[in-house]
Amino acid sequence: MPPIHLSKPYRQLQSLQKAPKKLTRSRKHMQRHRRPFFCTFHWQERSEVQRFGSKDDWRRHEEHRHYQSEFYKCPGGPHESCRGAWALKSDFEKHLDEHHKAIVTSWTLLDGGINEDTKKDFFQRHHNGTDYVEDNFWCGFCAKLIAIPTEMTGRRGKEIRVNHVADHFHKEQKDIRLWVKYSVCNLAETSKALEVARTNYEREINLLDNELEILDQQRQLPPIKDIFGPVEPFSASSLGSSPVAPDFWICCECQHLAQNRPNFVYVMNLGKESECTSNEHPAHSRCPRCSIARSQFSNVL
């Protein structure tokens, strides 16, 4: 069977179809340099934040190096303790009994009994599951618990959490310093917590810019005139007069042309040149008529 030769338009179409793959490789390469993914565990306690160039590297690090234990998050209130989170359900119930009587009343029946379904639903909505595989996970960029659908619990719950946080890092290009920790956030003042994180982040960036500007000013060298004093302009007279007078000569043919042409310009030939360099007449060798003594020509100069 003879070989099939593709037409030029078809080859161009194939190259256009392959272009997005090349762009994807380039985008991934630049992402490796930017390292947009940050470790969300213990980043405030570390002097150097751990960063990753790919989503898979970041996910592998958090799953293998860190473990998120379960906790219960207060729905928010005016008390200082409402900022916290509780690892034990009994401690969370005690907090609700002390500071949130209205919530406890919502599942208490008239005869003193408890509506277990209402209570269970409330605790489930304010519970961060073990290692993000149960019912909710905490997002510091949203400053709230994100619900995991019932059919997605388990390993697929981790997928939802990874994709959600990775979108903040990669698509929105958020810095980890905008992350609000669940242990210090009051859910009744979510917008305030995010604003405080944004203000602290901008203040830190401004301080860093000021420090860099100061370093640049310190590294900048002063002008040369400040080091060596004022610079005097150069002039040929500062070199003094030359002890040797130059030897020039004018061709006799040029002198003849100058008599007939007032605007004619002489050609000054050096003494070592044997022929006139003017283009106004045929080549002429130096002769006794065009020789000019150095003493005579010095008056012309």
Q: What is the DSSP letter of 177?
A: G
User: For the chain, what's the residue count?
Assistant: 301
Beta bridge partners of 138: 145
Whether 124 and 135 have beta carbons less than 8 Å apart is answered as yes
Can you read off the two tokens belonging to residue 234?
């150069």
Can you read off the two tokens belonging to residue 177?
């310093």
User: What pTM, to 2 d.p., does this model score?
Assistant: 0.60
Q: For the CA atoms of the chain, what is the radius of gyration?
A: 43
Q: What are the residue boundaries of the structural domains of the chain, listed by start?
A: 67-211, 248-300
Distance from the Cα of residue 260 to its chain's centroid: 74
Beta bridge partners of 71: 128
Contacts of 49 (CB under 8 A, 6+ apart): 38, 39, 43, 176
Q: What is the pLDDT along the chain (301 residues), one digit of tens a residue?
A: 444 444 444 444 455 455 445 557 777 777 778 888 999 987 766 667 888 988 999 999 988 888 888 899 998 888 888 888 998 999 999 999 999 988 888 888 888 788 889 998 999 999 988 887 778 899 999 999 999 888 888 778 888 999 999 999 988 989 988 999 988 898 888 999 999 999 988 888 888 777 777 776 766 655 544 444 555 554 444 444 444 444 677 788 887 787 777 677 767 777 677 788 777 777 778 787 775 544 444 444 4
Whether 143 and 180 have beta carbons less than 8 Å apart is answered as yes
Task: Tell me which H or E stretch contains 138.
Answer: strand 136-139
